Every structure is written in C-alpha cells, then in structure tokens.
Chain A
Amino acid sequence: EPEVTQTPSHQVTQMGQEVILRCVPISNHLYFYWYRQILGQKVEFLVSFYNNEISEKSEIFDDQFSVERPDGSNFTLKIRSTKLEDSAMYFCASSEEKAGGNRPHFGDGTRLSIL
C-alpha cells in the first residue's frame, strides 16, 4: 500500500530557530494535512491544504506557521521562530477526498524537540 513519508523522523532545534518539516504525500491524493501531538496529549489538527491553498486552519496555526507544496510532490510545514511549546510529534496526512469522504493516510511523524 502506498505510504506517506515524513522526514526527518526526529528534529532537534534551538528555540528561536526556523524548522522545516517535510512530507511526501501519496501521489494521487489531493488533500493534505498537518496534525500535531504534544507528548501524552491528543492529536490536534493544524491545517488542511487543497488546490495549492490553505482550506482550513486551527487556532494553533498562527503567523509562525506556514505550509507549502513547492514542487508538486513535497508538502512542508515551516515554523518560523520555534518556541519550547512547539515540541511535539508532527503528523502529515493526505487523502483522495476530504476528511469526511474517506480516511486520510498518516505518515509516521516527525518528533520535534525544541531546546
């Protein structure tokens, strides 16, 4: 079965630095998502992306966050100036249809540690 791949698996960054998390969605999927999970807590929606623009974002997704699909295959999440509270597992997902249509496929996640 095709997979969503995320790199790196673990990223350690100093507070205040920029970080880019990368994802390669499944090739024929049209909808792309980022979620995060702070250690021990539930998975939270960050942003959805369709047709080269953000379709929905949560309150967490403030001006420090941005997403991009630079080359038609990668889907990236950038955090401009990281804070300690950005430490979390970040999951990328993609789907053929909107979340209400069928299931999104999740990557294995990137663990982001902010020092």
Chain B
Amino acid sequence: SQQGEEDPQALSIQEGENATMNCSYKTSINNLQWYRQNSGRGLVHLILIRSNEREKHSGRLRVTLDTSKKSSSLLITASRAADTASYFCATDANTDKLIFGTGTRLQVFP
C-alpha cells in the first residue's frame, strides 16, 4: 500500500450523522495533517496532529493518531450538507514534503 491511504474511498451519510475516515501510512512521521477539498477547489487545512499527540479536537472535528499502528482517523460529528467534500490525510514522513493520501469522498445528504 502507499504512504497515506484513506478508507473508505467514498462515504455517503445523512445530515446529522457522524462521519469517520481512516488513514494509514507506512513510515515514521513528525506530524499528520488532514485537509479538505471541495470539488475542483483548493486545499483547506483542518488539523495538524504531532507524532507525540494521540487526539486533537477542533469544533466538530476529532482526530486521533496511533503511531504504533501507523494510522489516524478523522471524525466529523453532526455532519452537514456543507461538509460534502474530499478529505485527505498528509504525512511528512520525516522529509521536507507532504505525502498525501488517496482521499475519502464524503457526501452528506440533507
């Protein structure tokens, strides 16, 4: 598998439900970041979690990091139609660049 793979590839839920997306990576990291991208638009930074952190919150977002399993999850609570977008994790892999995952396409139906 590649550095940074999200699952599921696509997720459809109703407004008000929670959405959970997972990311796995292969190498050691300094930090892991989650980004959102609306169709054909730019990258919006959501959260950065450092390798010595286990959980981080920002509004309706909750990110966990398990470095022993080399995995992270992004939870969006009480989802809204406006949350419809693609979500990517990105790791630095101890290098001077970000390696992005393949992304999860989230569709939230009103």
Contacts and interface: CB of A to CB of B under 8 A. Distances in A.
Contacts of A107: 42
Chain B's interface: helix, strand, loop or mixed, by majority? loop
Chain A's interface size range is: 20 to 34
Contact of A108 (B42, B100, B103): B42
Contacts of B100: 35, 42-44
Nearest to B48: A103
B107 interface: no
Instruction: Summarize A's interface: helix, strand, loop or mixed.
Output: strand
Given A42-B102, A98-B96, A100-B92, A106 B33 contact: no
In the complex, which of the residues B42, B96, B101 has the most CB atoms of chain A within 10 Å of its own CB atom?
A: B96
Interface of B: 4, 29-31, 33, 35, 40-43, 45, 48, 88, 90, 92, 94-103
Interface of A: 31, 33, 35, 42-45, 48, 50, 55-56, 58, 89, 91, 98-109, 111
